[in-house]
Structure 1
Amino acid sequence: MNSVDVVVPCYRYGHLLPHCVNSILSQEDVEVRVLIIDDASGDGSADVARELAAADPRVEAREHTENKRHIATFNEGVLEWAEAPLTLLISADDELNAGALRRATELMDANPSVAFCYGHAPRWEVQNPRPQLRQGAWRPIVYDGHSWIKGRFDAASNPVFSPTVVVRTDLQKKVGGYNPKMLHTSDLEMWLKLALYGDVGFVSGADQGVFRVHESNMSSDYYDHDLGLKDLQMRSLTFEEILTNHGDLLPDVPELDRLFRRRLAKEALLRAGRAYDRGNGGTQAVDELVTFARDTCEDAQRLPEWGTLQLRKAVGPRVAPLLSPLVLTAVGRKLRQRGRDQRLIDEGV
């Protein structure tokens, strides 16, 4: 029977901790050990962890005397404690679906080249009813590691649902822990590092867990007030770090660099454009998004999104919301074509 060590970092989620731990202990056809690490919550969460440990010998509880924050807590579990062949790191506010670990371990047993596998975890807006999780038939999908990495650079985003990721423990220790420089993208950097050394598995057809979305989610601060600029900056830093520190393991560094820069610049310009659509154009936050796009991608001003943004700016923040996005797209397309024609003339082509 396969063994999986499960690390559950907890900070003030004591009220949710039993749901998370029970979803782990109820997994069938696998042996599990659980380590709950309370990061000095100070609200009784550590007491809940100790109660869970006392009720089941498979559960161990630790309590930090001072808050070490999430990265140090993650690394304590996955690097210092985990020793089973496979490791899962799951936040105390998330849960596994029934059969999740059986599916993951079956996939990895059948495909020794797989460095880690993941699956879908529906987002649960806690003010809404709990989503119905898919069970039953599923199929394994295995992606070549380097091809998967290229897809991530092309999309410049993280498609991996962290509560579902099962990692080979020996490889986890080889690549090291989570990077404290990556405040909320340390998981993305970890998946990229792991994929440098193996293939990536995906459980298709059945949900592997559920991801709670609530006000105290760690990532929520990165999407308010600045129109998502911090999020874009952290993703850019993550991809830059991979190319700087691990470029010797990748065959196409210049292309990967071009892909992520172009994608992030496009996204920044789109966010700026949406601000104009909402009547919030001309603000410092919008200016900073545009600056980010230009600093990130040297061809930012040739992107389609640049032309449509300039149109929005020309008509002003009061008029832009009244214009249909379809109209803006059509007009922007004409402006881009006019610009291309002018460049051809200027270049003597």
Structure 2
Amino acid sequence: MTSPSAVREISKMSSVSVVIPCYNYGHFLEQAVASVLDDQGDLDVRVLIIDDASPDGSGEVARAIAAREARVEAIVHTTNIGHLATYNEGLLGWAEGDYSVLLSADDRVTPGALKRSSELLDAHPEVGFAYGNVLWFQDGESLPRPRTRRAQWSIWDGRVWLERRFRHGRSGINSPEVVVRTSLQKAVGGYDPRLPHLGDTQMWLRMAARADVGYLRGVDQAYYRRHPHNMSAAYTPLMTLQDDVLAFESVLEECGDRLEDPAHLSDLIRRKVAWEALLTAARAYDHGRTEDTPVEELMAFAVDCWPRARSLPIYRTLQLRRAIGARAMPYLRPLLLPAVVARKAESWWLGLPAMRPLLSAATWARSR
């Protein structure tokens, strides 16, 4: 018989719903599932594997795992519905835990990652999601050793965190390292079908417009696997930049009434994306890749995205390279500053003004 004290302990246990979408990644499933069920402390973890009609037998692997592990369920689609619809099926239709995790079948979480994030979210009900550092590794190589002790917390005002993301044009998140408060996920809704590549970036921004953001410092929270079939490999730089604008601007359309100055945020992201487009074109000259880089399209996109793009130093850097020409650049390159210097200058411009409000708004929690 369970003792009263044990019942009280069980009642305090946080619950985590882990959704693992899978398409032709059945050979990774065992590792992904084991990472969320093993070495995660006293959490009530439940897993749903959703195979999206994989032709490689991944569905049978999912069913086999669910048959032997009571904490795992499996859904196998007979028709492919796409990865975003699969995400929404699991997160909105199935997840019932206090917290939710979306874990690609080719990624993993580190030992104790779910417990560390749950502790932060338990202690700070104003925080909508928590994340930490990700370790990247090449498929077929050994996993790097993760840092799993002495986590400290940073709690950021969601709107301050969001503005910094607009300033940098990146969410700074890969995805497997995030643990979300399920009630917030349900309130925000599902992934946007217009953004098959950057739906996750848009999701974190939508959440930050509604809640604060937690970060676990000094620890590694997940592994991100690099291999030729990563979805990002199918996108050209121009396609990614176009999606960047859509992802960030769509957040302003949806959440503008929650933000102090949407016009300022729009200007920040458009300036940043225009800069990136021009930098990509300039680096094509530096690396002899003008034949396979759409330089003219990138320039036109930059000016259309942010009409003041011609005033940027990187625009003059690019114009100089165009005047020299692709054939002469290899000979004159030693006499010119590389385009990457422009990236460092941009990082300096972006970083200094943004750090002050970020640091003033941060709450540094005690070491855990």
TM-score, scaled relative to structure 2? 0.86
Give 2:232's aligned residue.
Answer: 219
Give 2:330's aligned residue.
Answer: 321
1:258/1:4 Cα in 2 relative to 1: closer, same or farther (>3 Å)? same
Distance in 2, Cα, partners of 1:123 & 1:325:
33
Q: Does 1:249 align with 2:258?
A: yes
1:82-135 CA-to-partner distances (Å, cap 9, x unmatched) read: 011111110000001000011000111111110111111111122543222122
Distance in 1, Cα, partners of 2:325 & 2:278:
16
Amino acid of the residue matched to residue 324 of structure 2? V
1:318/1:127 Cα in 2 relative to 1: closer, same or farther (>3 Å)? farther
Q: How does 1:194-205 map to 2 (within 5 A)?
A: 194-205=207-218
Q: Is the 8 A contact 1:311 1:328 kept in 2?
A: no
Give 2:71's aligned residue.
Answer: 58
- Quote the offset at 1:305 in angstroms: 0.4
Q: Is the 8 A contact 1:116 1:168 kept in 2?
A: yes
Give 1:35's aligned residue.
Answer: 48
Amino acid of the residue matched to residue 79 of structure 1? L
Q: Is the 8 A contact 2:99 2:181 kept in 1?
A: yes
Q: Does 1:302 align with 2:311?
A: yes
Secondary structure, counterpart of 1:328 in structure 2: coil
Distance in 2, Cα, partners of 1:166 & 1:31:
14
Distance in 2, Cα, partners of 1:25 & 1:54:
15
Secondary structure, counterpart of 1:306 in structure 2: helix
Identity, % of aligned positions: 48
RMSD over aligned Cα atoms: 1.7
Q: Does 1:131 align with 2:140?
A: no
User: Structure 1 stretches of 5 or more lacking a match?
Assistant: 334-349
Amino acid of the residue matched to residue 280 of structure 1? R
Distance in 2, Cα, partners of 1:47 & 1:282:
45
Segment of structure 1 superposing worse, 214-223 or 314-323:
314-323
Q: Is the 8 A contact 2:137 2:143 kept in 1?
A: yes
1:130/1:309 Cα in 2 relative to 1: closer, same or farther (>3 Å)? same
1:61/1:325 Cα in 2 relative to 1: closer, same or farther (>3 Å)? farther
Secondary structure, counterpart of 2:97 in structure 1: coil
Q: Is the 8 A contact 2:176 2:222 kept in 1?
A: yes
User: Structure 2 stretches of 5 or more lacking a match?
Assistant: 1-12, 343-368
Q: 1:164 aligns with which of 177, 194, 204?
A: 177
Distance in 1, Cα, partners of 2:101 & 2:140:
27
Give 1:272's aligned residue.
Answer: 281
1:128/1:286 Cα in 2 relative to 1: closer, same or farther (>3 Å)? farther
Q: Is the 8 A contact 1:281 1:313 kept in 2?
A: no
Q: Does 1:20 align with 2:32?
A: yes
- Quote the offset at 1:284 in angstroms: 6.4
Secondary structure, counterpart of 1:200 in structure 2: strand
Distance in 2, Cα, partners of 1:200 & 1:82:
21
Aligned length: 328
Give 1:185's aligned residue.
Answer: 198
- Quote the offset at 1:140 in angstroms: 1.0
Q: 2:156 aligns with which of 136, 143, 147?
A: 143
- Quote the offset at 1:322 in angstroms: 3.6
- Quote the offset at 1:283 in angstroms: 6.1
Distance in 1, Cα, partners of 2:167 & 2:224:
25
- Quote the offset at 1:287 in angstroms: 1.1
Distance in 1, Cα, partners of 2:257 & 2:335:
44
Q: Is the 8 A contact 1:146 1:250 kept in 2?
A: yes
Amino acid of the residue matched to residue 23 of structure 1? S
- Quote the offset at 1:262 in angstroms: 0.6
Q: Which structure exhibits the higher relative contact order, with contacts defined as CA atoms closer than 8 Å and separated by 6 or more residues?
A: 2
Distance in 1, Cα, partners of 2:182 & 2:133:
21
Q: 1:4 aligns with which of 11, 16, 31?
A: 16
Q: Is the 8 A contact 1:308 1:329 kept in 2?
A: no
Give 2:248's aligned residue.
Answer: 239
Secondary structure, counterpart of 1:208 in structure 2: strand
- Quote the offset at 1:254 in angstroms: 1.3
